[in-house]
Structure 1
Amino acid sequence: MDSPFRPGFGKSPPFLAGRTDALIQLQSGLEVGQWPQERGILMTGLRGVGKTVMLNHGEDLAAEAGWQVVSETASRGFFERIVGVHLPQILQRLRPGPAFRITGVSLASLGSISVEYPDGRTETPTFRGMVKQILDLQAGRGGLLFTLDEVSSASAAEIGVFAGEYQHLVREDAEVAFMGAGVQGEVKGLLADSSSTFLRRCAHVTIGMLSYEQTISAFQKPIVEHGRAASDATLEYLARAAQGYPFLVQSIGDIAWRATPDAREISLIDAETGHRKARRSMGAFIHEPALSGLSRVDRSYLAAMARDDGPSRSEDIRVRMGNVEPGYASMYRARLLAAGLIQEAGYGYVDIKFPYLREYLRNLIAANARLDRIDGLSLDAGFPPPPALD
């Protein structure tokens, strides 16, 4: 039987545990004739918590409600792709007719394309013009949803162009909606940019870690619904191993499911196998990409914290960094808090927030590896560590 777990980034699991509030916000933004704040949603969170999955679900909700969907990633040229590819394709689908050839794309003037028809006619429709045509063809049956993944300050200029055009449509009460998603620390930098007023006005949704109970459900429900079982002890181990982190839920669950696929029950040994193999993959898939965006001093701060088995005293960190000035250490503490890699743990204390990041850092330090690549995710309190693995 195929595994019900979906490891990997952006893959939608069959069960979205702990996301009820976020789903309600997504749904409320798709009511035709209503313009709640949720018509614009910006989802943030740590890498691997399921932001792209939520975007996928939002797109599905929109399609089911009769909306047209433009799905993009905020990489270079995304607005050009919207203007030159997505909108023309939707128009061609809604209004079948003579095939046309796009002969040029210009973003300097309201985002426009040059179109040539077989009979020699030419047109120069703009972004707003094409959107309005699509909405007219929708005839009140739905609107047009734009989704933008991997939002970050690297795309600030292009996001500003898109936002300027989109906001004209909003002022005209057009049936349009926007959902964006990005890594917590990267979005924070973008929101400080003067071109990001549009994003600051969006409803902000934080996609966080799962509680212990939600993590149990995230394992138990797919297992049971797909005809297998797991004991309470196995489910407890799985939850403790995943530490509320959705990426690990899917990765550990998938490996455990496949360990003995013909067995009626997923055993504790299967769960331990899933934990061991999934934890090894955290470095390449999660920790390295997350740390890659940090400065040398950011990484030094984390390395100083990794020496402790639990929360670190801020004064100890300052001394370990070379007895730097308190204000200097506090600046990097604030940066890592904003990025979501660490969390406050009482007055004068901070703790590493990301599952297994402490162990990863210690391994790098022990191997005299350069700490030039790392990223983090949150570890909720209340998850005792799983049994030690060799």
Structure 2
Amino acid sequence: MSAVSAAFDVRGRGFARRAPLSLAWDWIDGRILPSAARRLALADCVGLRLAEAVAADGDWPPADRAAADGYAVAAADTLGAGSYNPVPLMAAVPVSAGEPMPPGSDAVLPFEAVYAAGPLPEAVDAVAPGCGVERRGAWMRVGDPLLPAGRRLRPADLGLLAAAGHRTLTVLPAPRVRILLAGGPRDGAPEQLGVMLAALVVRDGGRVESIEALPADRAALALAYARPGADLILSAGRTGCGPDDVAPPALADAGSLDLHGIAMRPGGSAGLGLAAGDGAGGVPVLLLPGEPMAALAAYELLAGRAVRLGAGLPAGLPHATADAVTARKLVSEIGCLDLHRVRLDGDGRIEPVGSPGWPGLAAAARADGFVLVPAGSEGVPDGAAVTMYRFG
């Protein structure tokens, strides 16, 4: 285990420099790999990514079946039927949608087209062959490709695969993510980070292994980082320059602190490193600030990327985007990527609802999304075209 180097120990000194976000992304991309594919029961696969393409194991429907409620009939038996010329039906069988068609029938006559008060039902309308019938294999034939490798499985996908005869699938399992809350809120406010980070992890395809509140204690944190059982660790809190900001040195004790201080606002005290765990190269640890908005930004731009890669999903931001025009200037700081929370008006124009340095989640709750201002920019003038990443 290594002691934290002087270059990284910012307690009481501040950050002499911060690493560009691209360097942090390179670190994540070079160390996060999906877990080995596993065969799981269909019900356990929602939200996971297919490791291989899936084809139909059989025809669907497996036989001709009724597509609507009515009477299964031979269409030829209804020729000439009408309201003034009812035609008795010698072989009409009531069926519900989804039931197999009885032998000898090739159409479904709606109930309203049948007069059933006499000894025999009578057709009062004619029907063509195949009307009201789903033919065998109408939706898929055995061997037809269904879903490609890499598909993130939706609930409807699982229904389709069950219909196609699949009971298990080969998928990339969700990465196990340990969430550690270091030291708790400084101002005594209710804890906010655990529930927020857990929801974000699930959104990005991860599985929360545990959520643990720990004191601002270097040894206790180092033990929690090094404990086996997680594929990725998110540690929130105690990452700054104060005397009790012990998360970075604790990570150095547990393995290595590779980056501390990222050129982004908010979230600039984030860090990355490896804990000696049950993985061959160590378990990646993402250090997130304890201030909630800074933690949210650091998750979106750093930790979320790691969770998605671990789930076999694309690394990029998962948000839908919208083209917009600024209604007011977005002020930025050269050398630092800024995440501006913005609100969208009815004319497709956006305005900030809080500066990147403004703390708290209230502004994020009022925002429709965020805009990223690159590190090399002094800001975005009013009337400029931008890309907004939408919340939700």
- TM over 0.5: same fold? no
Instruction: Pick the structure with more helix per residue.
Output: 1
TM-score between the two structures when normalised by the length of structure 2: 0.27
Larger Rg: 2
TM-score between the two structures when normalised by the length of structure 1: 0.27
